[in-house]
């Protein structure tokens, strides 16, 4: 299973800035991936990566970089967030998102919302305009409206591919033939970054699971589970079986292994993804960056849409 690190390709001891993004671990199986679809996915990842790296290259903040990268991913219908969000079992959208600033552990999270074009911008708005961390429903939407966050009609989030996936999932449930396809369970987007000042940040956004029960919330908007950033250790954005990631507190576990056990990011992330999660029957992966700008992107399933770059890193876009 995939374990990829940028530290093997470093050309300097400390990287000035770096960014990694993911479009979820719910990839199409390699046998079903057509050349056209692969080209579309790679182009979408490239656009999102450029949105973040251009900010870092101009001495912008890690927080701005991850916000813009995830916003770009939310606008891509290929990924399960924003415009490409999956449907709940009653045919609606309920989206979750989070941002975290590694400088002071400020965080903003939103769960179960529909309306904001970019849920990650609403999450950041909650961080910057309220004293809260996690908000849901109408209260969260009101914060966004007061801040002028763009809202769009439900039609914006409709894609035929996601609607067909809901109908297929419901048919399989009724027939007792529902399989364990990760494309139904792993859809998330996210980004982590280190800027030239040494600050880290993380952002994650998701539409959840196809045919999920209304009101279900996964790990993406939960600080310490699917999203985390602390300048002393690392920034993390995860994707996978949300319930397992919550039960293991995946992002916090990696941070704790670094702070308390002295492990490197690669050691901590690899252990959690390849040992800890399988013990809970959890599959998925994550992108992460440490305080020196090194990137680690392990996953324990067939693939994970991912990309990274930095001022002294080789640019890479990968799926499997």
Q: Please, what is the Cα angle at 28 between 22 and 34, to 5 degrees?
A: 110
Give the predicted TM-score (pTM) of the model. Answer: 0.94
Token digits for 202?
A: 């993380």
Residue recorded with tokens 């876009």: 317
C-beta separation of 272 from 257 below 8 A: yes
Pick the catalytic residue: 188, 227, 233, 239?
Answer: 188
Quote the DSSP letter at residue 154: G
- Rounded-to-integer distance, Cα 192 and Cα 184, Å: 24
pLDDT for 3 equals: 52
Q: What is the largest CA-CA distance in the chain?
A: 56
- Nearest one of 233, 228, 240 to 202, comparing CA atoms: 228
- Rounded-to-integer distance, Cα 205 and Cα 24, Å: 10
pLDDT for 2 equals: 58
pLDDT for 10 equals: 42
C-beta separation of 192 from 235 below 8 A: yes
Q: Confirm whether 239 is a catalytic residue.
A: no
The tens place of each residue's pLDDT in the chain, 320 residues long, gives 555 555 444 444 568 999 999 999 989 889 999 999 999 999 999 999 999 999 999 999 999 999 999 999 999 999 999 999 999 999 999 999 999 999 999 999 999 999 999 999 999 999 999 999 999 999 999 999 999 999 999 999 999 999 999 999 999 999 988 877 766 666 899 999 999 999 999 999 999 999 999 999 999 999 999 999 999 999 999 999 999 999 999 999 999 999 999 999 999 999 999 999 999 999 999 999 999 999 999 999 999 999 999 998 899 999 99
Residue 16: CB partners within 8 Å, gap ≥ 6?
196, 293, 310, 311, 312
- Rounded-to-integer distance, Cα 183 and Cα 180, Å: 9
């Amino acid at each position: 299973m995939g374990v990829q690190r940028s530290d093997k390709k470093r050309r300097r001891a400390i990287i000035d800035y770096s960014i990694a993004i993911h479009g979820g671990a719910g990839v199409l199986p390699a046998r079903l991936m057509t050349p056209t679809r692969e080209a579309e996915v790679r182009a979408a990842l490239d656009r999102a990566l450029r949105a973040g790296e251009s900010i870092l290259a101009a001495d912008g903040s890690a927080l701005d970089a991850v916000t813009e990268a995830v916003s770009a991913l939310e606008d891509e219908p290929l990924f399960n967030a924003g415009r490409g969000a999956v449907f709940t079992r009653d045919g609606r959208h309920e989206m979750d998102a989070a941002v975290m600033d590694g400088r002071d552990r400020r965080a903003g999270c939103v769960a179960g919302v529909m309306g904001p074009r970019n849920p990650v911008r609403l999450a950041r708005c909650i961080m910057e305009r309220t004293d809260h961390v996690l908000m849901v429903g109408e209260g969260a939407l009101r914060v966004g409206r007061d801040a002028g966050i763009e809202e769009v009609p439900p039609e914006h989030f409709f894609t035929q591919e996601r609607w067909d996936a809901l109908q297929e999932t419901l048919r399989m449930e009724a027939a007792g033939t529902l399989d364990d396809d990760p494309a139904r369970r792993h859809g998330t987007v996210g980004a982590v970054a280190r800027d030239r000042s040494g600050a880290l940040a993380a952002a994650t956004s998701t539409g959840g699971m196809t045919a999920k029960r209304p009101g279900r919330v996964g790990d993406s908007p939960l600080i310490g589970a699917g999203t985390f950033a602390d300048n002393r250790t690392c920034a993390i954005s995860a994707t996978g079986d949300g319930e397992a990631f919550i039960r293991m507190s995946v992002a916090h576990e990696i941070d704790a292994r670094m702070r308390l056990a002295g492990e490197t990011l690669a050691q901590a992330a690899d252990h959690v993804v390849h040992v800890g999660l399988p013990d809970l029957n959890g599959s998925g992966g994550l992108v992460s960056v440490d305080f020196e700008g090194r990137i680690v992107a392990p996953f324990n399933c067939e693939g994970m849409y991912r990309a990274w770059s930095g001022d002294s890193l080789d640019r890479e876009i990968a799926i499997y």
